[in-house]
Structure 1
Amino acid sequence: MKSIAVIGAGTMGNGIAHVFAQHGHEVNLIDISQTSLDKGLATITKNLDRMLAKESISEELKKSTLDNITSFTELKKGVADVDLVVEAATENLDIKLNIFKELDSICDEKTILATNTSSISITQIAAATERPEKVIGMHFMNPVPIMKLVEIIRGYNTTDGVTESIMQLSKKLGKTPTEVNDYPGFVANRILMPMINEAIEALYNGVAGVHEIDTVMKLGMAHPMGPLQLADFIGLDVCLSILNVMYDGFKNPKYAPCPLLVNMVTAGKLGVKSGEGFYDYSESRKAEKIAGQFA
């Protein structure tokens, strides 16, 4: 698989494009917004510069990585003659179904269609196409250039050959692919999201404060980041979406989102992306921290 198309230039999409391009693949990065494409490419450049400063890559590799990426705002042009499409759009079932239905109609019959969904059924997504045997899940972890794991999720009709080819491709990217079956939340989020939700419940019920909950999990359980801070980095809207998928899929109240999470998302407090979640990421807060260093 030499040529890859990545749909979505956001956090996950630009990270996936970065990794493929760094490993010698020709990458078509696709987004309906030129602004999003420009921002995604700027992020890739910044991450490469950081790697260059740490001497983990050479100037030549940085240049070849950027040269391997071409941006498109038109889906049909972006997916023409590629071997693999990796969809990394918003975690919304209707959006993904529409994308895969269109991909099926415009992609070459040899093209494998993958989704970076973190919770939605691969079988359901594949059903929107006439090639369900060539549809698979590639759930990369954030930040993609650093995290080693890729959950490989096969749908009901995904063939052994397609699964094996994606497993091998992931290894060539320097990743550790782990095959899992098609259940809501797969493995990573089936375990992670209830923990995050329970941390929010503890805050909601007044068991402890934000810092205290995160401190217990960091120092007591050796987690690198507390669950509430992690939720902020994932995006509270994304956490809510994944919990809703699992709740609808399992019909089990243990996956029901905490009312505090629902209210925060409704109020627009989404975490890092909005400047405020369980923690304050606003520019004014950053200024206070900087001023405090000189006090």
Structure 2
Amino acid sequence: MIRKIAVLGAGTMGHSIAEAFAMHGFEVNLFDTDSNRLQAAKEEIRAELSLLAAEDFIPQPAIQATLDKIAYFTDLKQTVIDRDYVLEATPEILELKQNLFKQLDNLCPPHTILASNTSSLKLNDMMALVSPSRKERILVTHWYNPAHLIPIIELSYFGNMPEDLYTQVEALHLAIKKQTVKVLKDVPGLVANRIQQGVAREVFSLIEMGIAAPADIDKALKFGPAFRYATTGQLEVADFGGLDIWCVVGDNLLKEMDSSECANKLLREKVQQGKLGIKSGEGFYKYSPEKISAIKNDFMRKLIHQLKASEYYI
């Protein structure tokens, strides 16, 4: 049974993943090589828990109870030496992850299950340097940002891991109220990111062609397809609409839509200009520095409300 967790990397994803496990009573060791990042992560977790309490998603005492479940480390060996489950949320650099898994293979107990939060690197490549016995205990568990709010967890089932071990990992995530997606083939982007990129490709194309302003394109998505997608999957939508209708519309429309195989030119230009979105103060929208914190809180507040509502549709 998995009880003791370690999360490696205290950045955007790592601190939020640690928070998600701790909220549901698991003991979590959070590791980072940067002690300043660990301190910042502790403050971020407290702020996020406070917002959850303010929105009546968790009771006020749960804030400190959750914080007490997380220990912070800069020593990798001490972080993982007694853990049942270790998840890495480090930068998407293959050599870094290969060497990290090699270290973990040596430092962790034989029963420890290892996981990566990657959505772009292949599992077989990442575990190239570990022992054959450990390869049976490694998988991809892809979380969505912010990890403590978005319900989905994509779990790899690529043939290396016995079913009983996979079932343990699945049960772990079900215990923290996540919705698991069993991914059967090792493809780039897994499932959710591939769907998301399909939508994003057409959205960026519409902007590039000047079909509508960014706010109107976002409005079309939020109050059109995404409104249904909050409670209904695409295959359900197709069944309700009629597969014959979807077939005809596909024949008529898909040939007119963007079919590019690389990032949109407009998107690349914005990156080159340093317009990276909220973290730089401008992307498709402009963000006043003094309002960024409030904007982020509003974003998370909407997700909290949606998470509450989603419980009725599970």
TM-score tier, shorter chain, comes to 0.7 to 0.9
| Letter aligned with residue 6 of structure 2 | A
Residue 154, structure 1, aligned to residue 160, structure 2: no
Matching of residues 207-246 of structure 1 within 5 Å: 207-223=211-227
More moved, 88-97 vs 16-25:
88-97
Match of 1:168 in 2: 171
Structure 1 residues 70, 262: CA separation in 2 closer, same or farther (over 3 Å shift)?
same
Q: Does 1:275 align with 2:281?
A: yes
CA distance in 2, matches of 1:285, 1:26: 35
Higher-RCO chain (CA-CA 8 Å, sequence separation at least 6): 2
TM-score with structure 1 setting the length: 0.80
Cα distance between partner residues in 2 of 1:69 and 1:136: 23
Q: Does the aligned pair in 2 maintain the 1:122–1:154 contact within 8 Å?
A: no
- Superimposed CA distance per residue, residues 258-284 of structure 1 (whole angstroms, 9 cap, x where no aligned partner): 122233333332222222222222316
Residue identity opposite 2:146 in structure 1: P
Q: Distance in 2 between matches of 1:92 and 1:197?
A: 25
Once residues 291 and 180 of structure 2 are traced to their aligned partners in structure 1, the CA distance between those partners, rounded to angstroms, is: 39
Quickly say closer, same or farther: Cα 1:99–1:282, change in 2 above 3 A.
farther
Distance 2:224 2:181 in 1: 28
Question: Hey, what's the Cα distance between the residues in 1 that align with 2:80 and 2:100?
Answer: 12
Gaps of 5+ in 1: 226-252, 290-295
Q: Deviations over 1:200-219 (max 9, x none)?
A: 22222333332232122223
Please list the CA deviations of residues 209-267 of structure 1 after superposition, one character each: whole Å capped at 9, or x if unmatched. 32232122223324599xxxxxxxxxxxxxxxxxxxxxxxxxxx744211222333333
The 3 A distance-change label for structure 1 pair 147 and 53 is: same
Listed as ranges, the matches of 1:29-48 within 5 Å are 29-48=30-49
Q: 1:3 to 1:221 in 2, by over 3 A?
A: same
Separation in 2 of the partners of 1:97 and 1:254? 32
State the distance in 2 between where 1:272 and 1:255 align.
26
Aligned residue runs from structure 1 range 90-239, under 5 A: 90-130=91-131, 131-181=134-184, 182-223=186-227
Structure 2: which amino acid aligns with 1:265?
Answer: V
Letter in 2 for 1:29: L
Query: Cα deviation per residue 1:92-127 (whole Å; 9 max; x = unaligned)?
Result: 333322322222232222111111112322222222
Paired with 2:173 and 2:290, the residues of 1 have a C-alpha distance of 41
Q: Which residue of 2 aligns with 1:266?
A: 272
128 and 202 in structure 1: CA distance in 2 versus 1, 3 angstrom threshold: farther
Q: Distance in 2 between matches of 1:113 and 1:46?
A: 29
SS at match of 1:19: helix
Which amino acid is the alignment partner of residue 173 of structure 1?
Answer: I
- Check the 8 A contact 1:3/1:82 in 2, yes or no: yes
List gaps (5 residues or longer) in structure 2.
230-258, 296-314
TM-score, structure 2 as length reference: 0.76
Identical residues among aligned pairs (%): 38
Paired residues of 1:123 and 1:156 also in contact (CA < 8 A)? no
Contact kept in structure 2, 1:28 and 1:71, CA below 8 Å: yes
Cα contact 2:158–2:183 (8 A) shared by 1: no
